Structure 1
Amino acid sequence: MSEQNPYEQLGVTENSSFEEIQAAKKRLFEQHSNDSNVVEQVEIAYDSIIMDRLRLRQEGKIKVPEKIRFPERSVEKAFKVPQIVKEDSAVWLQELIDTPSQADILWPTGIFLTLSAIAVFSQNSAASIVPLLMALGFIANIYFLNRKEGRSGRAFLISFIALFVGIALGTGLANLLFGQGGVTVLGVDQFASAVTLCLFWLVSCFLR
């Protein structure tokens, strides 16, 4: 086999395409897989043909396919992994929303539910106890948020916003309901404190 020229060794001609040359090489590899000497000669013949094609290309006699001139490009295309572009909105939302465990929900639920019950059912001393309940809820919310991320400044800011939104929302709803003659059992302060404590519960459980 070694006395033949490279083309004859692979069983191809000088006019064979690159695909035909590759197929011949593969076929010979499979036929003589147990004969290392033949496999080595086939590899040498294949390399000789490739070098001959490159030489002819430099002389302008043939056009060499891109996969021969730049084989690394085929490898790059084969192993190129498409990049997944995430929208900025999804990123910041994932950083803000938390998926709490059952234990993480249990403690805030117990504390804010207790504070809400005290605010609703302590009618005689509601005027004096509501501010205390709100303060306790505010501190508890800071604690639960800070326990997750360890960022006390951020926890304080979120808790303050929740307090402001809860009072405004609760007061507005109470005035709306009382004005229409609906809910008359609770006072405005009691209703607003209950709404705020519910908001504290949501924030402490489901925000980072």
Structure 2
Amino acid sequence: MNESNYKTLGLDESSSFEEVQVARKRLLEECNSDPQQKEAIEAAYDAILMERLRMRQEGKIKVPDRIRFAEKTSESSTSAPRVSLPAPQTPGWLQDWLDTPSRDDILWPSVVFLALAALAWFTVNSSATALGFSVAATIFFLNRKEHKFWRSFAFAAGGLLIGVLLGLLAISLVGQQSLGLSPERVNALVAIVTMTLLWFVSSFLR
């Protein structure tokens, strides 16, 4: 591979496809006022994609199935013309927030939040402690993706607030007496609802 293309993006040949995408997006945001630098970044990104496509065709690397290359269209039947429909456009601000998580991005947060939910439910008066660890875990998992601590902190704080409000609202609608729960169990249930939302935030946002 041409190492200069990777150096342009601040990466090396061992970088994953997701890292290449993140680097391209970050660099384009930083050089909005420099069209020449923007063109160099796009050229390096395209060159890396083409090189990885060639290596994929030769069986040297595996490319994620969600990435579509032009070669796949040639495998389909040519007996009937295919009408291409415009793809739905996702708002730019939403693309900046949503993530396409890998298996590990879902697995590890799931393990951590399940353990904290069990702690909140089975250990008396530990809901607040479990929630504190949940917020810290959310910040950690979000910050690990793009290294934006304050953005991760804001998402975690927002998830905590909304989760607590949703939990209290759900219990008030159902009625604490009808559930037959003690105050400690009510707190644990609110904590679990909040942890579920924080798990979603840490897995599917960035």
Query: TM-score range with shorter-chain normalisation?
Result: 0.5 to 0.7
Cα pair 2:164 2:190 within 8 Å, conserved: yes
Instruction: Give the CA RMSD over aligned residues.
Output: 2.1
Which residue type is aligned with residue 168 of structure 2?
Answer: T
C-alpha separation between the residues in 1 aligned to 2:155 and 2:174?
Answer: 28
Unaligned runs of 5+ in 1: 1-83
Secondary structure in 1 matching 2:179: coil
Unpaired runs of at least 5, structure 2: 1-85
- TM-score, normalised to structure 1, is 0.53
Pick one of 138, 153, 158 that aligns with 2:155: 158
Amino acid at match of 1:193: A
Identity of aligned residues (%): 37
The match for 2:202 among 197, 204, 208 is 204
> For 1:56-89, what per-residue CA distance to the aligned partner results, in whole angstroms no more than 9, with x for missing partners?
xxxxxxxxxxxxxxxxxxxxxxxxxxxx9996x6
Match of 1:184 in 2: 181
Whole-Å separation in 2 of the counterparts to 1:154 and 1:200 = 14
Kept after mapping to 1: 8 A contact 2:121/2:127 = no
Q: C-alpha separation between the residues in 1 aligned to 2:87 and 2:196?
A: 36
Query: CA 1:191–1:95 in 2, change beyond 3 Å: closer, same or farther?
Result: same
1:204 deviates by 0.2
**Secondary structure at the counterpart of residue 118 of structure 2:** helix
State the aligned residue count: 120
Structure 2 residue 142 is matched with structure 1 residue 120: no
4+ residue segments displaced more than 6 Å = none
Quote the residue 1:30 is aligned against.
none
Shift of 1:171: 1.3
Between stretches 91-100 and 150-159, larger displacement belongs to 91-100
- The one-letter amino acid paired with 1:112 is F
After TM superposition, list the pairs within 5 Å mapping 1:92-171 onto structure 2: 92-122=93-123, 125-126=124-125, 129-171=126-168
